[in-house]
Amino acid sequence: MGLREYLDSKLGLGRDTSTDTIYTCPFCNRPKMYIVTDSLSGKAGMYHCFHCDRSGGLVSLIAYLDNTNRSSAVATAGALLGGVNLVYSNTDSSLGLTPEERILAVLSMNAPLRHSHSHTKDDIAELTVPKLVPPELPIGLRYLSQDLDKEEAKPFVRYLLKRGFTIADILRYNIGYIVAGGTYSAKGNLVTIQNHVVFFCYDKQGNYQYWNTRAIDKQTPKSINAPELKGHYGKGKVVYNLYEAVKKRDIVLTEGVPDALTLGQSGIATYGKGVTGIQLKLILDNVHKDQNIYVMLDMDAYPKLLEVAKAIAKYHKNTYMVYNPTRQDANSLGRNKAWQVIHKYSIPVTETGVMRFLLTSTGESTGF
């Protein structure tokens, strides 16, 4: 029995994505758990649930599913993977490995990432960014720059100020808001949007490209992206704030717009934990060789952070991984603390740097 067959037998049939398999999470019973099922990937068995936020490695998952101890789980994992690439995550401290086992796991993770980016340098150079049109703006959209004195706009302004943004930020980035409105999905269904701020992405000439939202109160979903339509810009085909950030010496790559905004004009966002080939080309085509690129993604998914950093570093020497010991995103930290973390805990993407980052991320002391 292989890893995929084992997981299917325990969790039900999985649904494949380009890099992972989606299962029903055994911890929260929601179909939001992503598991790496390629036994040759260098990170087989790593999992993360995007509902309950539970993360870990194959050994801890097997121990839970089989209700067994760590030694038995290690043996089962080895059999499922044919003895290769056991990956450990220390998020489940009750199943902690010895220091020797942890270092072996780190060494296996430092193997080439088969899924990270199969692009060669020539592939990126030859990749063509398609000519696309922006998605239609959402129904009910208004602009805070025009409505700052209106009563209906005040909750949205208060939300942004509470998140650390300034009136100058609101005006610079032309942040919008929707009290009650919506958008049509790719299938033509109306998606309701209520009490969301709206962020816009612009091209080099300052023309509107793409939008996404963030709820100002506790509701689901907390963020809505413009619908993915053929021939239109989508979240994987733009980079938020890229053309402002390239004017700065330091560029910080984050997941979401609020994190990018927190870092001022230096912040960019890819609207997710990864980076697409088109996004990679957009970044590389516009940065200068002397600029620094800091990859500051979610530390709870540090293999993805490493994957993105290594993909960029193939073509850009001054690329750094931000080891964030606080485990808080940039917006939660606030502008000053976020920059302190970046300046204090950035590691260059070199062979030594990658090892240092991995040992630190998995709990080994590296002298920080």
Distance CA 13, CA 11 (A): 7
User: What pLDDT is stored for residue 232 in this prediction?
Assistant: 93
E strands, the chain, are 15-16, 21-23, 33-35, 47-49, 55-56, 142-143, 176-184, 190-202, 208-215, 250-254, 267-269, 292-295, 319-322, 346-348
| Inter-residue contact 193 to 140 (CB < 8 Å) | yes
Verify cis geometry, omega within 30 degrees of 0, for the bond prior to 221: yes
Considering the domain architecture, whether residues 43 and 78 belong to the same structural domain is answered as: yes
Residue 60: pLDDT band (50, 70, 90) is: confident
Give the CATH number for residue 71.
3.90.580.10
User: Looking at 62, 87, 109, which one is the last position of a domain?
Assistant: 109
Considering the domain architecture, whether residues 188 and 249 belong to the same structural domain is answered as: no
pLDDT digits (tens, 9 = 90+) for 207-227: 999 999 999 998 778 899 999
Considering the domain architecture, whether residues 263 and 321 belong to the same structural domain is answered as: yes
Q: Say if 166 falls within a structural domain.
A: yes
Distance CA 363, CA 255 (A): 24
Pick the range with the lowest mean pLDDT from 52-56, 183-187, 222-226: 52-56
Q: Say if 85 falls within a structural domain.
A: yes
User: What pLDDT is stored for residue 274 in this prediction?
Assistant: 82
pLDDT at 289 over 70: yes
pLDDT digits (tens, 9 = 90+) for 29-52: 999 898 988 766 557 788 888 888
Q: Say if 222 falls within a structural domain.
A: no
Considering the domain architecture, whether residues 351 and 271 belong to the same structural domain is answered as: yes
Considering the domain architecture, whether residues 211 and 246 belong to the same structural domain is answered as: no
Considering the domain architecture, whether residues 105 and 152 belong to the same structural domain is answered as: no
User: Looking at 109, 126, 159, which one is the last position of a domain?
Assistant: 109
Considering the domain architecture, whether residues 264 and 338 belong to the same structural domain is answered as: yes
Token pair belonging to 312: 């960029």
Considering the domain architecture, whether residues 343 and 286 belong to the same structural domain is answered as: yes
Give the total number of structural domains in the chain: 3
Question: Considering only CA atoms, which of 38, 56, 39, 60 is closest in space to residue 47?
Answer: 56
The number of beta carbons lying within 10 Å of the beta carbon of residue 114 is 12
Considering the domain architecture, whether residues 341 and 251 belong to the same structural domain is answered as: yes
pLDDT at 136 over 50: yes
Q: Report the sign of the C-alpha dihedral through residues 57, 60, 62, 65, in that order.
A: negative
Considering the domain architecture, whether residues 160 and 262 belong to the same structural domain is answered as: no
Considering the domain architecture, whether residues 210 and 253 belong to the same structural domain is answered as: no
pLDDT (average), residues 54-60: 83
Spatial CB neighbours of 62, under 8 Å, sequence gap ≥ 6: 68, 73, 76, 77, 80
Q: Say if 234 falls within a structural domain.
A: no
The domain of 169 spans 142-215
Q: Say if 19 falls within a structural domain.
A: yes
Q: Say if 57 falls within a structural domain.
A: yes
Give the CATH number for residue 211.
3.90.980.10
Q: Say if 125 falls within a structural domain.
A: no
Tell me which DSSP letter residue 152 carries. Answer: G
Q: Say if 80 falls within a structural domain.
A: yes
Considering the domain architecture, whether residues 179 and 287 belong to the same structural domain is answered as: no
